[in-house]
Amino acid sequence: MKFNRHRSIQFVVIFLIGLTLGYGLHTKQPLAIIENKSEINQETTQIQTNNQLDLGNFWKVYNTIKDNYFDASTFSSQKQVDGAIKGLVDSLDDPYTVYMDPQENEAFKSSLDGSFEGIGAELSINKGGLVVIAPLKQSPAELAGLKAGDIIYKIGDEFTADMTLMEAIMKIRGEKGTFVVLTVLRENETEPLVISIKRDTISIPSVEYNDLGDDIYHINLYQFGETTNAEFQKAVQELLLKSPKGIILDLRGDGGGYVDAAIDVLSEFVLGKKEAVKIKYRDPSKNYSMYTNEKGKLNNIPMAVLIDEGSASASEIVAGALQDWGRAVLIGVKSFGKGSVQELDNSFDNGASLRITVAHWFTPNDRSIQDLGVTPDQIVQYSQEGYPEGMDSQLDAAIKLLK
Protein backbone atom coordinates (compact mmCIF):
# COMPACT_ATOMS: atom_id res chain seq x y z
CA MET A 1 0.00 0.00 0.00
CA LYS A 2 1.20 3.50 -0.73
CA PHE A 3 1.02 5.33 2.56
CA ASN A 4 3.83 7.58 3.69
CA ARG A 5 3.80 7.39 7.48
CA HIS A 6 7.22 9.01 7.29
CA ARG A 7 5.68 12.36 6.42
CA SER A 8 4.32 12.67 9.93
CA ILE A 9 6.63 13.70 12.73
CA GLN A 10 7.54 10.58 14.70
CA PHE A 11 8.45 10.99 18.36
CA VAL A 12 11.24 9.07 19.98
CA VAL A 13 11.94 9.96 23.58
CA ILE A 14 14.35 12.83 23.09
CA PHE A 15 17.06 14.24 25.29
CA LEU A 16 18.01 17.82 24.56
CA ILE A 17 19.42 17.59 21.12
CA GLY A 18 16.95 14.88 20.36
CA LEU A 19 19.08 12.34 22.14
CA THR A 20 17.96 10.24 25.07
CA LEU A 21 19.69 8.13 27.62
CA GLY A 22 16.82 5.61 27.63
CA TYR A 23 14.03 5.44 30.14
CA GLY A 24 12.36 3.24 32.80
CA LEU A 25 9.33 2.94 35.03
CA HIS A 26 7.25 5.21 37.24
CA THR A 27 4.46 7.75 37.56
CA LYS A 28 5.29 11.25 36.33
CA GLN A 29 8.79 10.20 35.35
CA PRO A 30 9.99 9.17 31.90
CA LEU A 31 9.72 5.41 31.60
CA ALA A 32 12.58 3.76 33.49
CA ILE A 33 13.27 6.77 35.65
CA ILE A 34 11.93 6.73 39.18
CA GLU A 35 12.25 9.88 41.27
CA ASN A 36 14.73 9.62 44.13
CA LYS A 37 13.79 7.11 46.82
CA SER A 38 15.06 7.75 50.33
CA GLU A 39 16.63 4.31 50.74
CA ILE A 40 18.91 4.79 47.74
CA ASN A 41 20.94 7.49 49.47
CA GLN A 42 20.33 7.94 53.16
CA GLU A 43 23.69 9.58 53.71
CA THR A 44 25.14 11.72 50.93
CA THR A 45 27.79 13.59 52.92
CA GLN A 46 29.68 10.72 54.52
CA ILE A 47 31.82 8.20 52.68
CA GLN A 48 30.97 4.72 53.85
CA THR A 49 34.02 2.45 53.98
CA ASN A 50 34.81 -1.05 55.11
CA ASN A 51 37.99 -3.01 55.74
CA GLN A 52 38.35 -3.88 52.06
CA LEU A 53 38.01 -0.30 50.75
CA ASP A 54 41.14 1.84 50.74
CA LEU A 55 40.82 5.38 49.36
CA GLY A 56 44.44 6.24 50.11
CA ASN A 57 45.54 5.93 46.48
CA PHE A 58 42.73 8.21 45.36
CA TRP A 59 43.81 10.99 47.71
CA LYS A 60 47.48 10.44 46.85
CA VAL A 61 46.78 10.91 43.13
CA TYR A 62 44.46 13.84 43.80
CA ASN A 63 47.00 15.69 45.93
CA THR A 64 49.89 14.92 43.57
CA ILE A 65 47.97 16.41 40.65
CA LYS A 66 46.84 19.41 42.71
CA ASP A 67 50.38 20.19 43.90
CA ASN A 68 52.47 19.30 40.84
CA TYR A 69 50.50 19.35 37.59
CA PHE A 70 52.14 21.86 35.24
CA ASP A 71 49.08 23.76 34.05
CA ALA A 72 47.48 24.69 37.35
CA SER A 73 44.76 26.67 35.59
CA THR A 74 43.14 23.43 34.39
CA PHE A 75 42.78 22.06 37.91
CA SER A 76 39.51 22.62 39.71
CA SER A 77 38.77 20.60 42.83
CA GLN A 78 35.10 20.16 41.96
CA LYS A 79 35.88 19.34 38.33
CA GLN A 80 38.31 16.61 39.37
CA VAL A 81 35.90 15.19 41.95
CA ASP A 82 33.10 15.13 39.37
CA GLY A 83 35.47 13.33 37.00
CA ALA A 84 36.31 10.76 39.66
CA ILE A 85 32.63 10.15 40.37
CA LYS A 86 31.94 9.69 36.66
CA GLY A 87 34.80 7.20 36.48
CA LEU A 88 33.27 5.24 39.35
CA VAL A 89 29.88 5.17 37.61
CA ASP A 90 31.40 4.36 34.20
CA SER A 91 33.17 1.33 35.70
CA LEU A 92 29.74 -0.36 35.91
CA ASP A 93 29.67 -0.49 32.09
CA ASP A 94 25.96 0.42 32.11
CA PRO A 95 25.03 3.24 29.70
CA TYR A 96 21.82 3.91 31.67
CA THR A 97 23.58 4.48 35.00
CA VAL A 98 24.85 8.04 34.72
CA TYR A 99 26.23 10.74 37.00
CA MET A 100 25.28 14.17 35.70
CA ASP A 101 27.16 17.22 36.92
CA PRO A 102 25.05 20.33 37.61
CA GLN A 103 25.25 21.61 34.02
CA GLU A 104 24.33 18.25 32.53
CA ASN A 105 21.52 17.72 35.04
CA GLU A 106 19.97 21.09 34.25
CA ALA A 107 20.14 20.32 30.54
CA PHE A 108 18.53 16.92 31.15
CA LYS A 109 15.62 18.43 33.08
CA SER A 110 15.05 21.11 30.45
CA SER A 111 14.77 18.41 27.77
CA LEU A 112 11.53 17.13 29.33
CA ASP A 113 9.57 20.32 28.62
CA GLY A 114 8.09 19.22 25.28
CA SER A 115 10.08 21.12 22.66
CA PHE A 116 13.69 22.23 22.39
CA GLU A 117 16.51 22.80 19.93
CA GLY A 118 18.58 19.93 18.61
CA ILE A 119 18.87 17.32 15.86
CA GLY A 120 16.03 14.93 16.82
CA ALA A 121 17.43 11.45 17.43
CA GLU A 122 17.64 8.89 20.19
CA LEU A 123 20.99 7.35 21.14
CA SER A 124 22.27 4.55 23.29
CA ILE A 125 25.59 2.82 23.85
CA ASN A 126 26.04 -0.90 23.30
CA LYS A 127 29.00 -3.13 22.56
CA GLY A 128 29.07 -1.82 19.02
CA GLY A 129 29.52 1.78 20.16
CA LEU A 130 27.36 4.91 20.12
CA VAL A 131 24.27 3.74 18.25
CA VAL A 132 21.23 5.56 16.85
CA ILE A 133 18.03 3.97 18.14
CA ALA A 134 15.80 6.09 15.92
CA PRO A 135 15.74 9.57 14.38
CA LEU A 136 12.64 11.68 14.91
CA LYS A 137 10.61 11.63 11.72
CA GLN A 138 11.04 14.80 9.67
CA SER A 139 13.65 15.92 12.21
CA PRO A 140 17.00 17.44 11.17
CA ALA A 141 18.60 14.05 11.90
CA GLU A 142 16.31 12.12 9.57
CA LEU A 143 16.30 14.77 6.84
CA ALA A 144 20.10 14.73 6.85
CA GLY A 145 20.10 10.95 6.38
CA LEU A 146 20.75 9.56 9.87
CA LYS A 147 19.13 6.10 10.26
CA ALA A 148 18.26 3.67 13.03
CA GLY A 149 21.19 1.33 13.62
CA ASP A 150 23.85 3.83 12.53
CA ILE A 151 26.93 3.76 14.75
CA ILE A 152 28.31 7.26 15.36
CA TYR A 153 32.05 6.86 14.93
CA LYS A 154 33.06 10.52 15.24
CA ILE A 155 31.48 13.78 16.39
CA GLY A 156 33.27 16.49 14.49
CA ASP A 157 36.93 15.48 14.71
CA GLU A 158 36.54 13.54 17.97
CA PHE A 159 36.24 9.76 18.11
CA THR A 160 33.39 8.47 20.25
CA ALA A 161 35.01 5.19 21.37
CA ASP A 162 35.94 6.48 24.81
CA MET A 163 33.00 8.85 25.31
CA THR A 164 30.22 8.24 27.76
CA LEU A 165 26.70 8.64 26.46
CA MET A 166 26.34 11.89 28.38
CA GLU A 167 29.58 13.28 26.94
CA ALA A 168 28.46 12.44 23.41
CA ILE A 169 25.10 14.10 23.99
CA MET A 170 26.69 17.29 25.27
CA LYS A 171 28.94 17.44 22.19
CA ILE A 172 26.10 16.91 19.69
CA ARG A 173 23.58 19.30 21.24
CA GLY A 174 23.63 22.96 20.26
CA GLU A 175 21.68 26.02 19.23
CA LYS A 176 19.23 26.21 16.37
CA GLY A 177 20.92 27.07 13.08
CA THR A 178 24.31 25.62 13.99
CA PHE A 179 25.74 22.45 12.46
CA VAL A 180 27.18 19.22 13.84
CA VAL A 181 29.08 16.76 11.64
CA LEU A 182 28.71 13.07 12.44
CA THR A 183 30.75 10.26 10.91
CA VAL A 184 28.72 7.06 11.02
CA LEU A 185 29.20 3.39 10.25
CA ARG A 186 26.21 1.79 8.53
CA GLU A 187 25.41 -1.83 7.82
CA ASN A 188 26.14 -2.85 4.21
CA GLU A 189 28.21 0.32 3.64
CA THR A 190 31.92 -0.28 3.03
CA GLU A 191 33.02 3.24 3.95
CA PRO A 192 32.05 5.59 6.83
CA LEU A 193 29.41 8.20 5.97
CA VAL A 194 29.87 11.86 6.88
CA ILE A 195 26.56 13.53 7.74
CA SER A 196 26.23 17.26 8.44
CA ILE A 197 23.12 18.11 10.46
CA LYS A 198 21.69 21.59 11.00
CA ARG A 199 20.16 21.86 14.46
CA ASP A 200 16.59 23.12 14.72
CA THR A 201 13.63 23.38 17.09
CA ILE A 202 12.30 19.90 17.90
CA SER A 203 8.58 19.61 18.52
CA ILE A 204 7.12 16.54 20.18
CA PRO A 205 3.78 15.21 18.92
CA SER A 206 2.02 12.26 20.55
CA VAL A 207 -0.89 10.50 18.77
CA GLU A 208 -2.17 10.50 15.20
CA TYR A 209 -4.61 8.21 13.40
CA ASN A 210 -5.94 7.85 9.88
CA ASP A 211 -8.39 5.75 7.86
CA LEU A 212 -6.75 3.12 5.64
CA GLY A 213 -10.02 2.04 4.05
CA ASP A 214 -12.11 -1.09 4.62
CA ASP A 215 -12.83 0.19 8.17
CA ILE A 216 -9.18 -0.35 9.19
CA TYR A 217 -7.55 2.45 11.15
CA HIS A 218 -3.87 3.20 11.69
CA ILE A 219 -2.87 4.70 15.06
CA ASN A 220 0.62 6.18 15.28
CA LEU A 221 1.93 6.46 18.84
CA TYR A 222 4.92 8.76 18.67
CA GLN A 223 5.63 8.85 22.39
CA PHE A 224 4.22 8.00 25.81
CA GLY A 225 4.26 11.54 27.18
CA GLU A 226 2.34 13.96 29.36
CA THR A 227 -0.45 14.46 26.80
CA THR A 228 -0.56 10.95 25.32
CA ASN A 229 -3.49 9.67 27.39
CA ALA A 230 -5.68 12.70 26.62
CA GLU A 231 -4.84 12.54 22.92
CA PHE A 232 -5.33 8.78 22.82
CA GLN A 233 -8.70 9.01 24.58
CA LYS A 234 -9.83 11.59 22.03
CA ALA A 235 -8.76 9.29 19.21
CA VAL A 236 -10.56 6.34 20.83
CA GLN A 237 -13.83 8.27 21.12
CA GLU A 238 -13.62 9.33 17.49
CA LEU A 239 -12.75 5.83 16.31
CA LEU A 240 -15.70 4.27 18.14
CA LEU A 241 -18.05 6.48 16.13
CA LYS A 242 -16.63 4.95 12.94
CA SER A 243 -17.21 1.30 13.99
CA PRO A 244 -13.71 0.10 13.06
CA LYS A 245 -13.19 -3.52 12.02
CA GLY A 246 -9.45 -3.45 12.56
CA ILE A 247 -6.79 -1.34 14.29
CA ILE A 248 -3.08 -1.12 13.53
CA LEU A 249 -1.11 0.27 16.49
CA ASP A 250 2.17 1.66 15.16
CA LEU A 251 5.00 1.75 17.72
CA ARG A 252 7.87 1.98 15.23
CA GLY A 253 10.46 4.52 16.29
CA ASP A 254 8.70 5.07 19.63
CA GLY A 255 11.50 5.19 22.17
CA GLY A 256 9.32 5.24 25.31
CA GLY A 257 7.97 7.76 27.78
CA TYR A 258 5.78 7.61 30.88
CA VAL A 259 4.66 4.29 32.30
CA ASP A 260 1.24 5.73 33.21
CA ALA A 261 0.63 6.50 29.54
CA ALA A 262 1.70 2.99 28.53
CA ILE A 263 -0.72 1.42 31.02
CA ASP A 264 -3.53 3.76 29.87
CA VAL A 265 -3.02 2.73 26.26
CA LEU A 266 -2.94 -0.97 27.11
CA SER A 267 -6.11 -0.61 29.19
CA GLU A 268 -8.20 0.29 26.14
CA PHE A 269 -7.45 -2.99 24.39
CA VAL A 270 -8.44 -5.49 27.12
CA LEU A 271 -11.27 -6.02 29.55
CA GLY A 272 -10.77 -6.22 33.29
CA LYS A 273 -7.68 -5.77 35.43
CA LYS A 274 -4.74 -7.55 33.81
CA GLU A 275 -1.08 -7.66 34.77
CA ALA A 276 0.78 -5.47 32.28
CA VAL A 277 4.37 -5.48 33.51
CA LYS A 278 6.50 -6.96 36.30
CA ILE A 279 9.28 -4.89 37.95
CA LYS A 280 12.02 -6.93 39.64
CA TYR A 281 14.69 -5.51 41.97
CA ARG A 282 17.89 -6.97 43.39
CA ASP A 283 15.94 -7.33 46.63
CA PRO A 284 12.94 -9.52 45.70
CA SER A 285 10.85 -8.01 48.51
CA LYS A 286 10.62 -4.82 46.43
CA ASN A 287 9.21 -6.53 43.35
CA TYR A 288 5.80 -5.42 42.15
CA SER A 289 3.48 -5.52 39.12
CA MET A 290 1.42 -2.89 37.34
CA TYR A 291 -2.09 -3.58 36.04
CA THR A 292 -4.50 -2.23 33.46
CA ASN A 293 -7.31 0.01 34.72
CA GLU A 294 -10.37 -1.75 33.32
CA LYS A 295 -11.30 0.57 30.43
CA GLY A 296 -11.39 -1.78 27.45
CA LYS A 297 -13.29 0.36 24.92
CA LEU A 298 -11.42 -1.29 22.01
CA ASN A 299 -11.20 -4.79 23.48
CA ASN A 300 -13.21 -6.58 20.80
CA ILE A 301 -11.58 -5.03 17.72
CA PRO A 302 -8.97 -7.16 15.89
CA MET A 303 -5.57 -5.51 15.94
CA ALA A 304 -1.98 -5.69 14.76
CA VAL A 305 1.04 -3.94 16.27
CA LEU A 306 4.03 -2.66 14.28
CA ILE A 307 7.45 -2.59 15.95
CA ASP A 308 11.04 -2.06 14.83
CA GLU A 309 14.53 -1.55 16.23
CA GLY A 310 13.48 1.96 17.30
CA SER A 311 10.68 0.66 19.56
CA ALA A 312 12.03 0.81 23.09
CA SER A 313 11.06 0.80 26.76
CA ALA A 314 7.40 1.87 27.12
CA SER A 315 6.56 0.74 23.60
CA GLU A 316 8.13 -2.65 24.36
CA ILE A 317 5.98 -2.92 27.49
CA VAL A 318 2.86 -2.34 25.37
CA ALA A 319 3.96 -4.69 22.58
CA GLY A 320 5.12 -7.39 24.99
CA ALA A 321 1.90 -7.37 27.03
CA LEU A 322 -0.35 -7.47 23.97
CA GLN A 323 1.68 -10.38 22.61
CA ASP A 324 1.64 -12.31 25.90
CA TRP A 325 -2.11 -11.84 26.24
CA GLY A 326 -2.66 -13.08 22.69
CA ARG A 327 -4.49 -9.82 22.04
CA ALA A 328 -2.56 -8.68 18.94
CA VAL A 329 -0.28 -9.96 16.21
CA LEU A 330 3.11 -8.20 16.22
CA ILE A 331 4.60 -7.39 12.82
CA GLY A 332 7.98 -5.92 11.87
CA VAL A 333 11.45 -6.58 13.25
CA LYS A 334 12.84 -7.14 16.75
CA SER A 335 12.57 -4.15 19.07
CA PHE A 336 15.47 -2.36 20.76
CA GLY A 337 15.64 -4.20 24.10
CA LYS A 338 15.45 -1.53 26.82
CA GLY A 339 14.20 -3.40 29.86
CA SER A 340 16.01 -1.76 32.74
CA VAL A 341 14.60 0.61 35.36
CA GLN A 342 16.47 3.64 36.69
CA GLU A 343 16.05 5.68 39.85
CA LEU A 344 16.90 9.37 39.76
CA ASP A 345 18.64 10.81 42.82
CA ASN A 346 18.46 14.61 42.80
CA SER A 347 19.57 15.07 46.39
CA PHE A 348 23.05 16.40 45.65
CA ASP A 349 23.66 19.84 47.17
CA ASN A 350 25.49 21.16 44.10
CA GLY A 351 22.66 20.39 41.67
CA ALA A 352 24.14 17.18 40.28
CA SER A 353 22.17 13.95 39.97
CA LEU A 354 22.72 10.21 39.77
CA ARG A 355 20.61 7.94 37.60
CA ILE A 356 21.14 4.33 38.59
CA THR A 357 19.75 1.06 37.28
CA VAL A 358 17.88 -0.59 40.15
CA ALA A 359 15.56 -3.08 38.46
CA HIS A 360 14.53 -4.79 35.25
CA TRP A 361 11.01 -5.13 33.90
CA PHE A 362 9.45 -8.27 32.51
CA THR A 363 6.38 -9.02 30.42
CA PRO A 364 3.29 -10.67 31.97
CA ASN A 365 4.68 -14.08 30.92
CA ASP A 366 7.94 -13.26 32.72
CA ARG A 367 9.98 -12.57 29.59
CA SER A 368 13.00 -10.33 30.01
CA ILE A 369 13.33 -7.62 27.36
CA GLN A 370 16.71 -6.21 28.39
CA ASP A 371 19.12 -6.58 25.43
CA LEU A 372 16.75 -9.16 23.90
CA GLY A 373 13.90 -7.00 22.66
CA VAL A 374 10.46 -8.19 21.59
CA THR A 375 10.40 -10.53 18.60
CA PRO A 376 7.34 -10.00 16.37
CA ASP A 377 5.04 -12.84 15.37
CA GLN A 378 5.62 -11.96 11.72
CA ILE A 379 9.11 -10.83 10.69
CA VAL A 380 8.73 -8.24 7.94
CA GLN A 381 11.63 -6.03 6.91
CA TYR A 382 11.03 -2.42 5.97
CA SER A 383 12.10 -1.68 2.41
CA GLN A 384 14.18 1.49 2.19
CA GLU A 385 13.83 1.32 -1.59
CA GLY A 386 10.11 1.99 -1.26
CA TYR A 387 10.55 4.95 1.07
CA PRO A 388 10.51 7.73 -1.59
CA GLU A 389 7.23 6.39 -3.00
CA GLY A 390 5.68 5.99 0.43
CA MET A 391 5.60 2.20 0.20
CA ASP A 392 5.46 0.43 3.57
CA SER A 393 5.81 -3.37 3.53
CA GLN A 394 5.21 -3.71 7.28
CA LEU A 395 2.00 -1.69 7.17
CA ASP A 396 0.92 -3.70 4.11
CA ALA A 397 1.37 -6.93 6.07
CA ALA A 398 -0.79 -5.59 8.91
CA ILE A 399 -3.56 -4.53 6.51
CA LYS A 400 -3.50 -7.94 4.84
CA LEU A 401 -3.80 -9.63 8.23
CA LEU A 402 -6.85 -7.59 9.24
CA LYS A 403 -8.79 -7.73 5.97
Query: Which residues participate in catalysis according to the annotation?
Result: 313, 338, 342
How far apart (Å, rounded) are the C-alpha atoms in residues 308 and 137?
Answer: 14
Contact 306, 332 (CB under 8 A): yes
Contact 207, 223 (CB under 8 A): no
Phi, psi of 332 (to 5 degrees): 135, -135
How far apart (Å, rounded) are the C-alpha atoms in residues 134 and 8?
Answer: 15
Contact 12, 330 (CB under 8 A): no
How far apart (Å, rounded) are the C-alpha atoms in residues 268 and 2?
Answer: 29
**Pairing assessment for the beta strands 329-332 and 33-35 based on DSSP bridges:** unpaired
- Fill in the DSSP letter of residue 368: B
How far apart (Å, rounded) are the C-alpha atoms in residues 237 and 33?
Answer: 31
How far apart (Å, rounded) are the C-alpha atoms in residues 264 and 110?
Answer: 25
Consecutive H or E run containing 60: helix 56-68
